[in-house]
Structure 1
């Protein structure tokens, strides 16, 4: 199926989404503060509504262009929901990073926002490379699928081991080559004075930590969304809209992450499902000579996008409801 939306729509979409992202960044830098629960909820509602409206626009524009609007719309919503759920699971790691470097509450918003912008740059590179490679080498779907199943198993085995708080090699190296003092300055987020000497604050280390962590996250999320759609435009816009609300999600879910005990299980199930979908898709495109003599394998029908969306929504719903039920039982037992 041709999934190329009109060029004017893609360019306009990128321009509007980037403008909203930059405006959000401007607000954060201009007025650093700790957002209230109400403020976070309002922003999340705005970004979720934006994603819904954008998905409906895709359907309308695609239909007007002679494309399958329903199929492209389903691909967008399934991809966005997958990316958003993975982002929610990553909030716990961000909490560890902020606690490790003792980041002042009022500075967390700005650093998170800068980390999100950095993440989008990294993901754009990954998406362009991934799309071109998958177009040229369909057998990569086997690797992506198998990798996602592996990640799903690891997610189940290590669901309680989000991180030890130890420095990765990049942070350890930066601590050696830069003059970084562990104390934060009240007046300057990047530099501080200690006994008359100038030092960098840990802000640079936090920013690099967020960037490197997102590179690791991208190794899971990018193959996962390519299992839903191979359109670079849909993949990137799903990532933009999922990451846009991540900052507010961090503050809203910060105190709730420990209550969502089964979220990791749900995400593992989604990754395993998409991994199977990728392998099945690879079999339908098979050209490897040692599999069915290089012919396509179509024993199992292709999984339709609407079914992927249903599986993702049901899995997340069950995971969240089961988590809340467990949390309620634990509170009642105290």
Structure 2
């Protein structure tokens, strides 16, 4: 992969983050505005997919992928990461509710969460790609981890919600620094007569950073089952995460209606784990088949959820 491709991607990512931050200025995001921007981010990913299809040899002269293979791998990885990122939204909604995060600062909190996830996943992709190059057997560890994660997600009781407000990271922070009861806008700390004191926003960011780590541990091994091209893995993650904030505000009031999403994600993770196990065999699952399975599974889960909860008021 040429250095120019990564340089161009870095510039594009910064510009897209700036644009995303600009469109949520003021702190209030309407559903209509969020829906328009969600469609924009999806359209931008599809445009980038077309660019890969047209110019892949120029972007990666040393790649063994054809234009079509590269474009299919990116689209499959993007849809996989987008599907898994929806699970992030449930956790974000839970965190915001448990910590009573004011609506005005939620866009900024989500932005910090997205930036943290981008940095973390970039590091994990670089490390993961190098490990796969040096130690091919790690593929099977990734596969086992995905199958285990899929099983846990399948058995998870959605009624038993995790209490983030009393989690270990929160207790550790409260032991190290004083924490105020009230938010102070976007401030993490402020000073009183006794010295510096943290706001609840600092706790929220700490918890979100921890969830970023946990979600990255699921998503990065999963996408390596689709493609081992680091550039495609990275770009699929970037485009999936960039639309996460807008998608949150579109689905914020509807998250409880997606009752079949967790089982669908459990099936997808298990399927990807099996795909990874079969990669070096005569039974290897082609990427276009994986793409079809992901699309059909998520579509069926969304349609089934909306139908089952059609009488539920969002």
**TM-score normalised over the length of structure 2:** 0.92
Q: How far apart in 2 are the matches of 1:22 and 1:234?
A: 22
Aligned pairs for 1:61-76 (under 5 A) are: 61-62=55-56, 67-76=65-74
Which residue does the alignment assign to 2:14? 18
Which residue does the alignment assign to 2:284? 302
Report how far residue 8 of structure 1 moved. 2.8
Moved segments of 4+, more than 6 Å: 193-197
Aligned pairs for 1:238-253 (under 5 A) are: 238-253=236-251
Q: How far apart in 1 are the matches of 2:5 and 2:55?
A: 8
Which residue does the alignment assign to 1:290? none
Question: Number of residues paired by the alignment?
Answer: 308
- Whether 1:107 aligns to 2:117 is no
Q: How far apart in 1 are the matches of 2:42 and 2:146?
A: 26
Report how far residue 68 of structure 1 moved. 0.4
Aligned partners of 2:113 and 2:208 also within 8 Å: yes
Report how far residue 143 of structure 1 moved. 0.9
Which residue does the alignment assign to 2:34? 40
Which residue does the alignment assign to 1:325? 307
Aligned pairs for 1:257-296 (under 5 A) are: 257-281=255-279, 284=280
Aligned partners of 2:189 and 2:202 also within 8 Å: no
Aligned pairs for 1:171-186 (under 5 A) are: 171-185=170-184
The structure having more radius of gyration, on CA atoms, is: 1
SS at match of 2:285: coil
SS at match of 1:199: strand
Q: Which moved more, 1:226-235 or 1:163-172?
A: 163-172
Q: How far apart in 2 are the matches of 1:303 and 1:269?
A: 15
Q: How far apart in 1 are the matches of 2:67 and 2:35?
A: 30
Q: How far apart in 1 are the matches of 2:57 and 2:125?
A: 25
Aligned pairs for 1:147-186 (under 5 A) are: 147-160=145-158, 161-185=160-184
Report how far residue 7 of structure 1 moved. 4.0
Aligned partners of 2:258 and 2:305 also within 8 Å: yes
Report how far residue 18 of structure 1 moved. 2.2
Gaps of 5+ in 2: none
